[in-house]
Structure formats: structure tokens, C-alpha cells
Chain A
Amino acid sequence: MSGRHGAERNRLPVNGRALATTAKAVAPAMMARAKQSVRAALPDGLAPPTMPGGIEPPPSRRSVGIDYDTDWARTYPARLARVVLLEGMVRPGVTALARPTVRGLDRLDDLDGPAIFAANHHSHLDTPLLGTTIPDPWRHRLVIGAAADYFFGNRLTAPLSALVVGAIPIERQKVSRRSADEAAALIDDGWSFLIFPEGGRSPDGWGQPFRGGAAYLSLRCEVPVVPIHIEGTGRILRKGRSLPKPSPTTITFGTPLHPRTDEDSRRFASRLEREVAALADESRTDWYEARRRAHAGATPPLQGPEVGAWRRTWDLGDRSPRRKRRARWPEL
């Protein structure tokens, strides 16, 4: 009884969803009418020409998506603005939401020059999280490969993606020559890359197979790949959710990997995946156990078991961070 009353009291007097649907339908028509009235108001010569009938309209030059030009976002003012945004807004937000524990940074001590950072991907939060935890000097010359269709989809998101996270558009499904050339040029220019080789956020909390992009770039530009494992962002904002829930995260940096002479990008990508899986193992147990399993080929895979959906979800339950017993020191 009381529950129903409560629900009714909270309901808005207008139906929001119906309103939004109507607005979406009406908007193009209203835009067209607005254009028309502007055209009518302007004197000839100033008014945009109309398209004569029977003429095939030339293909409109696409300025968003994969073709979006992000050069401006790597100019000095834009980088400066990015630092201000990252340190002033993104970092406080990320710290509040994710409380990151960063491990393994010492493995980057011997790393010189540009590198490709390759991480598993659970959440939109991964990008700002890594954008603030990848250490100097790479952080300030870092570009992020972002799905062209998603992040560069329209004129609003494209410049924002380019500015705030320093993204460049790449295609998810294939390595296109164009985006690969551009990325290679950037690496040769001293920029480092952050790539999520899974190609998208995890749909169910398990990993997806690593695609070859990062491996390909590494082979092509002869720069090392730094495997990174991110644990916990899925709990904060997983795919399909819109409201974040604060939760601690652990980011584990791995030893930079160089492609072996006998490796193509596919094999290198699968080694990369194994390394990230080993890092996942390391963050769950401890380094020595993880190394032993890694050497024995027994590292639990990122992708989870090939079983029914409910069992995959069930198994995932065990992956939450184990509460470690705090060792008392000194042991007397």
C-alpha cells in the first residue's frame, strides 16, 4: 500500500520519455523550417544557394568519425589546456571515484622514448584513469586510440575527445591503412599511445580477445608495448550503466615487451594478452605465484570460461579483490 503511494508521489506530472521522443521527431523539421526562414530573410547573393533538381549532389566531405583531424589537439596550447583539465578536473574526479592503487611503475624505469600502453578495458573510466596514472614523461605526450564511430561520431564529441583525453580516431574492426599510418607517424614523432586492444569495453566483466592493433604498431615502429591491467573499473561504471559508483581500483603496469623476431602481430597480441592476464593474476594473488603460474602456462585467462552466460557471471564473482590479511609486523 504505502509503497505504491510513494511511487505515485515521486512520479513527474509529465511523461518525460514521451516528451523526449516527440522532441527528437520534431527537431529536424523545425531545423529545416528555421533554415528556410533564414534563407528567405537574406538578400540574394548572401543566401546559401539551393540545389537544383536533377543534379547528383556531390558527396559531403565527412569531417567527423575516422576523418576527424586531431592535429590541433597536439599543439602546445591544447596540450597546456589538457594538463589543466586533467589535473584540475579529471584527476580529482578519478581519485574520488576510483581511489587507484598503482603498482609496477618501477618496471618502466629502464624505458626510454615512446611506448605503446595496452590495457584491458572495462569502463569509460579506464581512459581518464590511465590518462592520470601513466607516469611522466609519457603522460604529456600521449595519444589515445578511440573508436572513431563512438567518440568521433559528431561535432560535439569529436573535439571534446581530442582535447580532453588527446584521442585520435581509430576503427575498431580493422587496422585501416590510414589510421595506422597516422599512428605510426605520431609514434615516430615521439608520441606514446594508449590502446585498448580488446576493441571495446567488456560486455560482461570478462575480457575479450586482444586485436592486433597495438602489436602491429609495435612491430612497425619498433617501440615496446607496456601491458597494463586495470582491475575494478567495471564495478564503478560498467558497460550499460550511466551512473558511476565509487570503488577502489588497482592498476598494474607490466614489464615493457618487445616483439620477438619470430612473432607476427597476431602472436605478439596473444602474448600481450597473456601478459595482461598474468598481471591480473599478480594483482589478485602475489607476484611470485603469478610468475609460477605464468611459467607453467596456468595463468587464468582474461576471457573466462566457455560456458553458459549465468556461469560466466557466477565465476566472475570470485574475481573481486580478495581481502588480504594484513600481516602484523614484526612477527615476534
Chain B
Amino acid sequence: MKALRFERSPARFAAAMVAGRLAGGGGATVGPLRLRDIDDVELPGPDWVHIKPRLAGICGSDLATVDGKASRYFEPIVSFPFVPGHEVVADLIEPAGSSGTAPGSTGKPDGSHRVVLEPVLGCVARGIDPVCPACARGDLGNCERIAFGSIPPGLQSGYCCATGGGWSTAMVAHRSQLHPVDPAMSDEAAVMVEPTACAVHAALSSEITDSDTVVVLGAGTLGLLATAAIRRFTPPKTLVVVAKHDHQRRLARQLGADTVVAPGEIRRAVRRATGSLAIGDGDVVRLCGGADVVLDCVGSSASVADSLDVIRPRGRVTLVGMAGHTSLDLTPLWQRELRLQGAYAYGTETLADGTRRRTFDLAFELVAAAQLDELVSATYPLRRYAEAIAHAADAGRRGAVKVAFDLRQEKERNR
């Protein structure tokens, strides 16, 4: 099978770090990521199945990995070599003699049907019984056994050497990871489900109420999806989105932002939206009040600092983007008694009315309702991976949102 594989190679890793600094996505050509013809992944256990990716998205964390920017924090919870790609819609090929098709789905003539992968590798996928308390609650993203059990370390499919990943023509998945796709749903919509689930989780874990002013910093894929998720599941009083590029502004407004502003305008926008006072004679040097909740969907030092600048005392900042190493002044955190929290992955959510739903179910609902398939801007075949990654790294400026690999036409897949 053909796969983009990330190998442990210190020299190439160093080269990727340099190239990645020079141009986003530059690590793709010189780094540890290489297009290989490799053996098919074997099934690690009884409940595992082969799936053939159809579309696989390129995510911000993937880009950081490719460019050597990812934190070394990940080292013990991934296993090399791995095939990246965790935003996957795939064909599930039922093994001969297997009885089950997932309920509610219609199989294709060849016996396959489409599934979306929920990539988190929790206790169930790892064959651990009894499951850890987090998995017992349904909070898969918080699983406490991610380096243990029947498969090697790896926080998600796409970071584990035993599962393969979406950036290839074939991979394996545990049955518990698969969500059937309604035939009416396009592949483009389906590939948006995983990132949408992240956004839904971020939105719902930020405890937004309908009297809140909420700021979404950044209008890349995550920012836009978070905007849509907040608007649908936990609508606030005012939703301010910070967007850099014109198409982002348009989409943000379309997905439910009340106010869309440029990055430099955030302080003034929050000040006005909240009607708070500000220090500075007509300039907003420092806000005295601020937003109730900020979702930082960028994850840079600057964006976290911005978040701390525009939050009200006792407000909540949620880091949705992967922040990595940042340097920031925590004085406001202390003086304003802020809560700074992360939002990673998904599991089970509690809605305002108290019902508990799987994040992925909510994500499916949102993708369909908000027509999020529109956010897939470009697809590339595997062999043009360098272009694809460069495009994804520069998506905002080039007018794109989500860039994905299209594996449907790959020869190896259809053999």
C-alpha cells in the first residue's frame, strides 16, 4: 500500500525544523515524512477491521508534526514510524463471513460501507478491561491508558505505529472507533466530522451561557467550526470572531458570528460588545471588563496573550488550538482570577438540558445542519503531498479552509 509515513530520523527532523521555520509546510519535502510503498497493516486484535480511507484531512497538529514544531511532550505517547491522518472518512470492508453492518447504514454492492473514524485510542480499542474511569464516563479523549494495552503507545490513530493512518490507502481501526455515514452525506461533509467534534467539545466544555459574550480567536478550520458549534449548541448573547482573511470573515459571519473583526481590532470589539470601560484615552490599552469566554483557536503566544487581554475577571479561556511552547505573562491570570483550560478531542457531552450525547453524534448533526462540507477547499492525491501540505499551511492566505487528501483514485487502493 501507499502511505505517507513519519519516520524517526533525527537528521531529517532537524531539516524539517529548519524548513518549517522558513515556510509553513516546508518540512514536508525534507523532513521525516516520506511517501512509501509499505506492507499492509495487520489487524492488532479481534475487534479490529481493515478500512480504506476515502478522504483524509490535514490538521493543524499534523502540520506542526511535519514541520518539527510539535512539542516533545508527544514523544512518549506516539510510536514510530506512524502514518499521520486522523480526520478520516473510509470504506469499511467487512471481512468475509462477517455478519454485521453497522446499524442504519446501507452497504455498497461490494459489501463495503462508509465510516468516519473516531481516532482516539481509548481503553476499549486497547483491549483494556476494566476500562479507566475516564473511558467509563465516556470521556474517551481523557483516557488514562493511552500508552498501554494491546497496541503500542499512540494517543490517536495516525500517531500509532500499529494502526496506520488516514494518509494512506489502507489502515486498521477498532470497531468501536467507527461511525457509519448516512448515504446522503458527502465524503467532504464526512471528513469534517472529526474536526467538528473537536469544536463541539471545545464549545460545550467552555460552559457558555446565553448571557455571555464569547470570543473565538482565529477563523481557521477550528475557529470556524467552533463558531458554528457555539451558535448551534450553546448560543451566547454575543459571539465575536477574529478573522484575518476575507473568506474567513464571510464564513464566520455565515456560521453565526455576530461581529467579525481583524486581529488588531479585538480589544476594541470586545470592549464595545461588552460595554466595558477601558484604560487609555480613546485607545484601548487595557480592558477593565471583557468577554466571559474566549476560545483560542490559534494557539500561539500572541493569541494566548490576546485571550488574556480581552477576558473579564473570572472569565474562562479555552485553548482549542494546540498551543505548544508559548511564553506569556500570567499576571492577568492571577490578578483577574482567570480559568485557563484546554479542549482536546471529544467523548461525551452534557447539553444544556442535561442530556448526554456522544460528541461525534452532535458533530454529525452539526455538519449536516451547517453544511460544513463547504469548508473543504481543496483535495490532493498522495503523490502531491508536498503541495497539499504547503497549501494547508498557508490555507488562510490562499483562501482555503480545510485541505484533504483524496485517496479515492489511488491505484493501490482500488487493486
Indicate whether A and B are direct neighbours in the complex (CB within 8 Å): no
Q: Which of A's residues lie within 8 Å of B, judged by CB?
A: none
Q: Which of B's residues lie within 8 Å of A, judged by CB?
A: none
